[in-house]
Chains A and B, each alone.
Chain A
Amino acid sequence: MAGTLLQAFPFVHPGLAAIALGTGLIPVLVHLINRRRYARVPWAAMSFLLAANRRSTRRVRLEQFLLLLARVALIVLLGLAVARPYVPAGSFLPLRSSRAHRVLLLDNSLSMSARTEAGETRFERAKGFAQDLLESFPSTDAVSIVTLSSPAEAVIAQGIYDRRFVKERLAEIRATQRSTDTAGAITTAIELIEASEVAEGNRTVYLISDFPHEVWSSDDPDNPTPAVRVMRRLADTLSDSAVDLTVVHAGTRGSANIALTRLGTRAPLVGVNLPTRIEAEVTNHGTGGARNVTLQVRRGDRIVRRQQLPPLTPGESTVATITMEFSTPGTHLIEAKLITSETAPDVLPDDNTRYLSLEVRETIPILLVDGRPGMTSLDGQTGFLAVALSPGRMEAKPSLIAPKIVTEPELAGEALVDYDAVALCNVERLSTETWKRLESFVGNGGGLMIFGGDLISVDHYNRHGHAEGRGLLPGILERASAPEADGGTQLGFRLDEPAHPIVAEFAQHPESGLFASRVDRYLPVELDPSRAEVVLRFTNGEPALIASRYGKGGVLLWTTTANMDWTNLPAKGDYVSLMLGATAFLSPRHGDHRNITVGEEIREPLTPAETALPMRVTTGQGDAAEPALVPYGESLMLSYGPVEPAQAITVSIGSKERVFAANVDPSESDLTPIDTDSLSTAIDRPVRVIADLTSIASEPAATRSTELASFALYAVVALLWLEMWMAMAFVSQRSGSPASGE
């Protein structure tokens, strides 16, 4: 019964309704308590009292019941009025509509800056839709506005009734070069709806966007795009909350848009005076062919390339390659720009320019810890490794990678932060303090290579290095064993399918020396499956090289030796390639963090010495700004932003300059809108779609639920009067004039 009633009259605040029903017991309890608290008097004229009671009982009980009923109803109705009951849609009651909460989700991402054939941008069109919607809403409705550009932001969080204020805030919203955060916007909308003060059922979310085909198309219903998956989930959530979702389509067809979708280098390490290939990818996102497009590349202030691109059909991409050498270390700025024909203007020019910040290293310092140093450079545990990392070392030629060999006791005197990576080569054991230093070093982004050998104390490594899964080692070491010959075949190396990126190039070369190498001994490992990744195996299937991540850094575990003690691999030429690949894996390319997307913040970790230096940010427009310093590990980090629009930004720290590149999200360049039917199919539910202004003019003012709080309050006032009248009437009726005495 109560459930049926609650379905018929749900509440905006159901918790308060439950409390209100509970408070209805208060008059009953007061009545019962009063019945237990009475005065006691002896009485002589009992026969008259009993006779009066016999005559009055039924009437008195009825009066008391009516009074109690009025008091209970009074309190319950007052509580229910506060809990705000409403009649949902389809109710049997012929009630008029009441106020609603309308949430406008306005897409102001980069793709909305595309110009339509009418000459206005998609954003201007969408804003016009939003203004028309505002006009169509009854003045009693509350309005919130959320922008879709990443990160989604509630411009008006709480529902506002002041239309002038809403229109002013709407007018202030600008188109951005940021990507779209549909999920964030709808999540924000759900939060606003949940905090809404209006009745369930009277809440509508209007999503005004251009709905790019690439983001929303879902040809395979069972494998939708991430955006569609998010949208389906959120649509379900909205539906569960009885929220209407209305889609306002602001996209237009027939656009010409060519975009620079990538600018970067694939080289793992960029060093001084080393040839570096820069790639620029250009895609035609337009509906027609793209001709006479010129790519212009600048390095600093100098144009280094200007080339005509081949004609591109719709959807076609091309990659232009430019090889450069950098004579000085530090950050270098590359700018690529597309110059289109004036006869075929690009509707979205903001995606025609990209910037690249490239960190050029003079050296990559690596610390090699030798467990048993030898007499000559190739003796000891680290000799072959040092040569492999720095092939010119023997001839005293300069090399990008600069290995330094120390013994285990000397390791304590080294500042690990000065190195990109540390290699432990057959080191028997480390002090607890050193293990902690290594954990901190790797956790903050450093690299660690561990090689096996006869000196290794397996128990020590497992206790301190693995530390029951909390340490650096990706598995538990077992004692070294000489593998049994399998049918007379020597143990060698083999790759998994598919090959790990570190060894991927060997997969193309089965004749490589790697596969001809012999292994005599190794340390078996019981891997932690959650974090260990096998890069290279022995031919018996046991892992030879294991990679894992630890904090921000990486760990590589070689189960055989770095020298010729257990394997002859170090004598092979491929050992050099293998070690360079390993170094590139452990030494993530410096400067990647300086290439950000528009809307993100600049973040530059500082050394303790740098934190005291003067700092300044110079934007692409030439404006200077003070950056902020935020905690980063044990030191500080420079922070500035969010950065917008796309530009190159120079950060000065003392006398050094570092260049940052902020680029637009390439996924915003595909402007092809999805049609409304496909959108409904993609979201897998019927969605009300508004595609033109005329239908907005007739946006229904009626809402689904009708609030009853005012009715309840009227009833409370009426009951209050009724209760007072009944109390007075009953008392005056019962109090007669005294009987005669004398």
Chain B
Amino acid sequence: MDGGTQDYRRYLEPKVLAKISGLELRARLIVEGFFSGMHHSPRHGVSVEFADHRSYTQGDDLRHIDWKVFGKTDKYYIKEYEQETNLNLVLAVDQSESMNYRSSGAPMSKHDYTASLAAAVAYLTIQQQDAVGLALFDEHLTSFLRPSSNAQQWKILVQELAGATGPAKTAMHRVLDELAERLARRTLIILISDLFDDADAILKGFKHLRYRHHELIVWNVWDHAELTLPMTGPTMFDGLEGMGRLLTDPRSLRMRYLEEVERHQARLRTGCGHMQVDYTAFDTSAPLDSALSGYLATRSARLRQRSARVMGGG
């Protein structure tokens, strides 16, 4: 790996990324950094990738007959390709007040991290000729951008993401219900949020989306301090989203707190597993490539399932 590649990969580090202003540039650098580490670029051959042959049946489009095979075998075979261009992705991004939290040692707030991640995924999606949309929410769906593969779509989407968070709480169930109502076609939804809401309510919302046959990827974003409670000495915690105050010695609560966080995560992870929803927890101090590779892996798997259905179901 040459020096240039190494430079690009630096942009996956939140510490470095935080120094770059402008979400648009940040997103591009993330994607460049991500792909610079791969042996071959998935952009070559996307949407033209051969999958399989099958016998011609009446009604098939004559444009898909493999004439080379007809020349050799004198039979009509239809070439099947992986269908990519009709992927609809909606990025559902949490804009509630809690997303604005940034601990003293953290490179960026959860909102900044989330926006960077969403913008990068959107950029990658547009590059792959897929349609991408955006849903911003707190207590309600505050903004909704229908999926589109138009080149301008990404710029609009980035502008939307760059907006500030509001003072409102998260009300996940209501938001997911609203989102389900808005999406007519089967859609891949990436939900990026700290998920500071009741786990059962959240899972109920997921269930609703899955009922409508939407695919769901959940990226649960945490500040590092929220995963470790590193404070020592008497501390007054001023709760965001109107959660009140608590004066305590964090050392005396750390174990119980971490148990609570672990329980919440475990509940979500198990619930998602049952509904075939990808659940991943992110630490805002960790590099972003795992999110992108996770997305791409999910996308590939989904396309394979779809093609399998195409082949299996005729």
Q: Which residues of A contact B (CB under 8 A)?
A: 34-35, 37-53, 55-56, 60, 63-64, 730-731, 733-742
Contact between B196 and A47 (Cβ–Cβ < 8 Å)? yes
Contact between A41 and B236 (Cβ–Cβ < 8 Å)? yes
Q: Cβ of B7: which chain A residues have Cβ within 8 Å of it?
A: none
The size of the chain B interface, using a CB distance under 8 A, is: 54
Contact between B238 and A38 (Cβ–Cβ < 8 Å)? no
30 example contacts (A-B, Cβ-Cβ < 8 A) are as follows: A34-B234, A38-B235, A39-B231, A40-B236, A40-B238, A41-B104, A41-B237, A42-B238, A43-B101, A43-B238, A43-B239, A43-B240, A44-B97, A44-B240, A47-B196, A49-B248, A49-B257, A50-B239, A53-B256, A56-B253, A60-B252, A733-B255, A734-B252, A734-B255, A735-B251, A735-B255, A738-B228, A741-B224, A742-B281, A742-B283
A701 CB, min distance to chain B CBs, angstroms:
54
Contact between A741 and B240 (Cβ–Cβ < 8 Å)? no
B190 CB, min distance to chain A CBs, angstroms:
16
Partner of B238, one of A41, A47, A738, A739: A41
A52 CB, min distance to chain B CBs, angstroms:
4
Q: Cβ of A46: which chain B residues have Cβ within 8 Å of it?
A: 237, 239-241, 243-244, 246
Q: A53-B253, A736-B255 are in contact. Are A45 and B196 (CB under 8 A)?
A: yes
Contact between B253 and A52 (Cβ–Cβ < 8 Å)? yes
A514 CB, min distance to chain B CBs, angstroms:
101
**With the chains together, A44 CA to B236 CA distance in Å?**
13
Contact between B235 and A40 (Cβ–Cβ < 8 Å)? yes
**With the chains together, A742 CA to B223 CA distance in Å?**
11
B121 CB, min distance to chain A CBs, angstroms:
16
Contact between A42 and B240 (Cβ–Cβ < 8 Å)? yes
B280 CB-CB contact with A under 8 Å:
yes
A147 CB, min distance to chain B CBs, angstroms:
66
Q: Cβ of B281: which chain A residues have Cβ within 8 Å of it?
A: 740-742
Contact between A43 and B237 (Cβ–Cβ < 8 Å)? yes
Per-residue CB proximity of B115-152 to A under 8 Å, as 1/0? 00000000000000000000000000000000000000
B254 CB-CB contact with A under 8 Å:
yes
Q: A63-B252, A734-B255 are in contact. Are A44 and B223 (CB under 8 A)?
A: yes
Contact between A737 and B196 (Cβ–Cβ < 8 Å)? no
A739 CB, min distance to chain B CBs, angstroms:
4
Partner of A37, one of B227, B234, B262, B282: B234
B258 CB-CB contact with A under 8 Å:
yes
B200 CB-CB contact with A under 8 Å:
no
Chain B residue nearest in CB terms to A736: B255
Q: Cβ of B254: which chain A residues have Cβ within 8 Å of it?
A: 734-736
B181 CB-CB contact with A under 8 Å:
no
**With the chains together, A47 CA to B237 CA distance in Å?**
11
Contact between B253 and A740 (Cβ–Cβ < 8 Å)? no
B98 CB-CB contact with A under 8 Å:
yes
B28 CB-CB contact with A under 8 Å:
no
Contact between B282 and A41 (Cβ–Cβ < 8 Å)? no
B261 CB-CB contact with A under 8 Å:
yes
B233 CB-CB contact with A under 8 Å:
yes
B215 CB-CB contact with A under 8 Å:
no
B15 CB-CB contact with A under 8 Å:
no
**With the chains together, A53 CA to B247 CA distance in Å?**
10
Contact between A44 and B248 (Cβ–Cβ < 8 Å)? no
Partner of B227, one of A43, A47, A64, A738: A738
B94 CB, min distance to chain A CBs, angstroms:
11
B52 CB-CB contact with A under 8 Å:
no
**With the chains together, A736 CA to B254 CA distance in Å?**
6
Q: Which 8 A-B pairs have the closest CB atoms?
A: A741-B283, A46-B239, A52-B256, A46-B243, A44-B101, A38-B234, A736-B255, A44-B98
Chain A residue nearest in CB terms to B233: A39
Contact between B286 and A742 (Cβ–Cβ < 8 Å)? yes
B178 CB-CB contact with A under 8 Å:
no
Q: Cβ of B285: which chain A residues have Cβ within 8 Å of it?
A: 741
Q: A43-B239, A734-B254 are in contact. Are A741 and B260 (CB under 8 A)?
A: no
**With the chains together, A731 CA to B223 CA distance in Å?**
24
B204 CB-CB contact with A under 8 Å:
no
B226 CB-CB contact with A under 8 Å:
yes
Chain A residue nearest in CB terms to B238: A42
**With the chains together, A740 CA to B259 CA distance in Å?**
11
B222 CB-CB contact with A under 8 Å:
yes
Chain A residue nearest in CB terms to B258: A736
Chain B residue nearest in CB terms to A61: B252
B194 CB-CB contact with A under 8 Å:
yes
Partner of A737, one of B223, B257, B258: B258
Chain A residue nearest in CB terms to B259: A736
Q: Cβ of B236: which chain A residues have Cβ within 8 Å of it?
A: 38-41
Q: Cβ of A39: which chain B residues have Cβ within 8 Å of it?
A: 231, 233-236
Contact between A51 and B260 (Cβ–Cβ < 8 Å)? yes
**With the chains together, A734 CA to B223 CA distance in Å?**
21
Q: Cβ of B223: which chain A residues have Cβ within 8 Å of it?
A: 44
Q: Cβ of A56: which chain B residues have Cβ within 8 Å of it?
A: 252-253, 256
Partner of B261, one of A35, A45, A60: A45
Q: A39-B231, A41-B235, A44-B241 are in contact. Are A53 and B258 (CB under 8 A)?
A: no
**With the chains together, A527 CA to B226 CA distance in Å?**
100
Interface residues of B in 246-305 (CB under 8 A from A): 246-249, 251-262, 264-265, 280-283, 285-286, 290
Chain A residue nearest in CB terms to B237: A43
Q: Cβ of B100: which chain A residues have Cβ within 8 Å of it?
A: 44
Partner of B243, one of A35, A41, A47, A52: A47
Chain B residue nearest in CB terms to A45: B226
Q: Cβ of B282: which chain A residues have Cβ within 8 Å of it?
A: 741-742
B314 CB, min distance to chain A CBs, angstroms:
42
**With the chains together, A470 CA to B303 CA distance in Å?**
127
Most chain A CB within 10 A, of B236, B247, B249, B253, is at B253
Given contacts A35-B234, A41-B104, A50-B244, could you give 5 more A-B pairs where the C-beta distance is less than 8 Å? A39-B233, A40-B235, A44-B101, A47-B196, A741-B224
Contact between B231 and A41 (Cβ–Cβ < 8 Å)? yes
**With the chains together, A737 CA to B100 CA distance in Å?**
25
Q: Cβ of A738: which chain B residues have Cβ within 8 Å of it?
A: 227-228, 258
Contact between B264 and A48 (Cβ–Cβ < 8 Å)? yes
A41 CB, min distance to chain B CBs, angstroms:
6
B34 CB, min distance to chain A CBs, angstroms:
16
A53 CB, min distance to chain B CBs, angstroms:
6
**With the chains together, A184 CA to B104 CA distance in Å?**
78
Q: Cβ of B252: which chain A residues have Cβ within 8 Å of it?
A: 56, 60, 63-64, 730, 734
Q: Cβ of B226: which chain A residues have Cβ within 8 Å of it?
A: 44-45
B244 CB, min distance to chain A CBs, angstroms:
7
Q: A49-B246, A734-B251 are in contact. Are A740 and B233 (CB under 8 A)?
A: no
Contact between A60 and B286 (Cβ–Cβ < 8 Å)? no
A410 CB, min distance to chain B CBs, angstroms:
96
Q: Cβ of A42: which chain B residues have Cβ within 8 Å of it?
A: 101, 237-238, 240
Contact between B248 and A53 (Cβ–Cβ < 8 Å)? yes
Q: Cβ of A740: which chain B residues have Cβ within 8 Å of it?
A: 227, 262, 265, 281
Partner of B260, one of A34, A40, A48, A734: A48
A206 CB, min distance to chain B CBs, angstroms:
61
Q: Cβ of A34: which chain B residues have Cβ within 8 Å of it?
A: 233-234
Q: Cβ of B99: which chain A residues have Cβ within 8 Å of it?
A: 44
Per-residue CB proximity of B99-112 to A under 8 Å, as 1/0? 11101100000100
Q: Cβ of A731: which chain B residues have Cβ within 8 Å of it?
A: 251
**With the chains together, A733 CA to B259 CA distance in Å?**
13
Q: Cβ of B239: which chain A residues have Cβ within 8 Å of it?
A: 43-44, 46, 49-50
**With the chains together, A46 CA to B280 CA distance in Å?**
21
**With the chains together, A185 CA to B227 CA distance in Å?**
80
**With the chains together, A34 CA to B234 CA distance in Å?**
7
Most chain A CB within 10 A, of B234, B280, B286, B290, is at B234
**With the chains together, A395 CA to B255 CA distance in Å?**
126
Chain A residue nearest in CB terms to B266: A740
**With the chains together, A51 CA to B239 CA distance in Å?**
13
Contact between A739 and B262 (Cβ–Cβ < 8 Å)? yes
Q: Cβ of A43: which chain B residues have Cβ within 8 Å of it?
A: 101, 237-240, 243
